[in-house]
Amino acid sequence: MNRNDDYPPDYPQRSPAEFPEPILDCCVIISSNVRDRQGNVQFCPNRVIQKNGQSAPFNRAGDLNDNMEKDDSSVETNSDESQNDEEHLETIPQQIEIAYLIKEVIRDAIFGKVIHGTVLKRSGENDVWTETTEECAIKEMPWEQIREGRGEQRAENPQEEIAAMQHLKRCYDNEGGQHASVTTAMRDTRIIMPLDFLYDHQKLYTITPYCTGGELFDLLAQRSRFSEEESRHFLRSILDGIEWLQRAGLTHKDISLENTMVNDDMTVIIDMGMCLRIPVDNAQRCRIKSRPRCGKLYYMAPEVYASEPFDGRAVDMWAVGVCLFMMLTGQAPWEHPTPLDIQFRYFTNGYLTRVVRDQWNMNLSADAVDLLQRMLLLDPRDRLSLQQVRNHPWMTL
């Protein structure tokens, strides 16, 4: 069996590289008239998110807002404070051309909730915004909850998530040599891209495009299982996203069907709150020092579950293998990623084919089961790398 050609077994262990601190734009929640797509104007009380022309580093956004007047139309700071913060605050033109309309809640999140919204543009009338056809997802997180979670080992870190998304967008723009639209960047990378990162005196708002097809997990639940052709299509799209993460020097660490959205004909990887920058040593990748266990058990690599040093690329590809298993079989492969789980022990030691085809009577091709087995082996050095998966016979059909 060919060993992984992408795993660094002898590289040093290092802590993850740090992200630059993200900059946020200040906003206010206002009541305003909004013209809908049918041309009707309606009054929307406290449902429009609008920038107010200021910005601040993440770790000062909440503190600065404590001194801001909580007014729907403007935000003012003390003149002395403003002079001291010149290097941290930026002023942008007051004529803001884009805002966001808050609609219904989609789901709860660890630090708050996710809301369905619509992008608004100036209508030409001072007191009226106009709905565009562009929908968005607004992750709304109270500063109080974010501050309370900073000293704890949480599964997600809002600051790191924002920094990772900004880092990925910069990497994409640098490769292309120009600033690309969010729509173009998301289609090319298969990873969620930011429309805005906003804050007010109470909350942080992460605004991204809205994926119309919902979670891949929910789609699978509706279908029970996907055909091999459908699974291959989704896997190719997911691998495109993994490639961009690797090119940007990132490990997602929480790849799952729940964190994979369907948008038109492609998948989009979301929820980068556990994302880490892969450290490098003399242009070579390093293993990341052990960290507290976090993530979804089904998808968690055994070395992460055991709190051992891990290679960021290897753990993401492991999770992709679990995603493929669930797409093809309609069920999770095990309950816990540890040899104490008998099914995990069988599958990761080379007996996946015997169980899935002989005991479960799954009508899967030999190539499909072979790919699953090679992606889900206990030793990371034995698991297939991204390019080895792409070159597998099942993927080339």
* Strand pairing category for 196-199 and 23-35: parallel
Tell me, what's the pLDDT at 7? 78
Q: Is residue 20 part of a domain?
A: no
Same domain, residue pair 54 and 154: yes
Spatial CA neighbour of 250 closest among 220, 226, 272:
272
Same domain, residue pair 170 and 246: no
Same domain, residue pair 238 and 369: yes
Domain span at residue 34? 26-209
**What is the C-alpha separation between 141 and 159, in angstroms, rounded?**
11
Helix (H/G/I), strand (E/B), else coil: 78: coil
**What is the C-alpha separation between 342 and 351, in angstroms, rounded?**
11
Same domain, residue pair 79 and 126: yes
Same domain, residue pair 203 and 237: no
Tell me, what's the pLDDT at 281? 64
Q: Is residue 257 part of a domain?
A: yes
What is the domain count for the chain?
Answer: 2
Same domain, residue pair 139 and 246: no
Tell me, what's the pLDDT at 174? 96
Helix (H/G/I), strand (E/B), else coil: 128: strand
Tell me, what's the pLDDT at 294? 80
Same domain, residue pair 194 and 223: no
Same domain, residue pair 143 and 266: no
Rg of the chain over CA atoms, in angstroms? Answer: 23
Q: Is residue 285 part of a domain?
A: yes
219-225 CB contacts, 8 Å cutoff, 24+ apart = 219/262, 220/257, 220/326, 220/327, 220/330, 224/330, 225/327, 225/328, 225/329, 225/330
Of 191, 209, 227, the residue that ends a domain is 209
Q: Is residue 4 part of a domain?
A: no
Where helices occur in the chain by DSSP H, the ranges are 58-66, 79-84, 143-149, 158-176, 182-189, 216-223, 228-247, 302-305, 312-329, 342-346, 352-353, 366-375, 386-390
Q: Is residue 72 part of a domain?
A: yes
Instruction: Spell out the per-residue pLDDT of the chain, length 397, in tens.
Output: 578 888 777 778 888 889 999 999 999 999 999 999 999 999 999 999 999 989 999 999 977 444 444 444 333 333 343 333 334 444 444 567 899 999 999 998 888 899 999 999 987 777 899 999 999 999 999 999 888 766 555 567 899 999 999 999 999 999 999 999 999 999 999 999 999 999 999 999 999 999 999 999 999 999 999 999 999 999 999 999 999 999 999 999 999 999 999 998 899 999 999 999 988 765 577 889 888 888 899 999 999 999 999 999 999 999 999 999 999 999 999 999 999 999 999 999 999 998 898 888 899 999 999 999 999 999 999 999 999 999 999 999 8
| Whether 207 contacts 117, CB under 8 Å | yes
Tell me, what's the pLDDT at 179? 93
**Amino acid (one-letter) located at 263:** N
Same domain, residue pair 146 and 246: no
Of 192, 209, 226, the residue that ends a domain is 209
Same domain, residue pair 316 and 198: no
Same domain, residue pair 231 and 368: yes
Q: Is residue 299 part of a domain?
A: yes
Domain with residue 348: its CATH number is: 1.10.510.10
Q: Is residue 65 part of a domain?
A: yes
Same domain, residue pair 114 and 71: yes
Q: Is residue 8 part of a domain?
A: no
Of 209, 237, 265, the residue that ends a domain is 209
Domain with residue 95: its CATH number is: 3.30.200.20
